[in-house]
Amino acid sequence: MKKLILASSSPRRKDLMSRFNIDIEVSSSNIEEKIRENEIPEQIVMSLAFQKAQDVADRYNNNEIILAADTIVYKDKVLGKPDNEEEAMDMLMSLNGKEHLVLTGICLIQVGTLKKVVSYSKTRVKFRNLSQEKLKRYLSTGEYKDKAGSYGIQGYGSILVDWIEGSYSNIVGLPISKVDYLLEKYFDFPLL
């Protein structure tokens, strides 16, 4: 029986994967996430997902399947996790009333084999045009902390979003449909 290792400390990714009746273990990566200048968003997320997967794969030796992911918000540049409320407000203002992209890189590695798959998912998101007061009320919830782009669509942040085009679970941090497709096609390991 193959075992799936989730190479992530994200509670959102763990929650998404725990919905399926599979044997899963969580093992966080210790890589330092570095983004090179002029790198395109798709390259960024795939590179970071691969680095995370490889870091965790090095700890195992029994044909486990390692699943790693990296999610970014992109609007003219990468919008990472804010350091403080002021930075979060700047990010939200840059997204306010506009479209942006949420990209998640996915890497699957089967330990002890040469099987490695790297891919990505992209979702277009349109924010409502909201007042600064409404954005301040959102920030007062504290939900923006530890969130790329300073919002979480699965919580209070859902009121910020006008529409999405693409995978909802990708915005949360793991495009489940794509993960299932890749696991089944390349590793004979469907989630259902």
DSSP category for residue 20: S
- At position 149, the amino acid (one-letter code) is G
Cα–chain center distance at 191? 18
Q: Which positions ≥6 away from 14 have C-beta within 8 Å?
A: 6, 8, 26
In order, the DSSP letters of 143-188 are TTTT-GGG--TTTGGGGGEEEEES-HHHHHT--HHHHHHHHHHHHS
- At position 40, the amino acid (one-letter code) is I
Q: Of these residues, 15, 58, 70, 188, which one is catalytic?
A: 70
Q: Is 146 a catalytic residue?
A: no
Q: Are residues 149 and 170 in contact, defined by beta-carbon separation less than 8 angstroms? A: no
User: Across-strand partners of 164?
Assistant: 125
The bridge status of strand 116-127 relative to strand 161-165 is antiparallel
- CA distance readout (Å), 107 to 25, 75, 99, 122: 16, 24, 27, 15
Known catalytic residues? 70
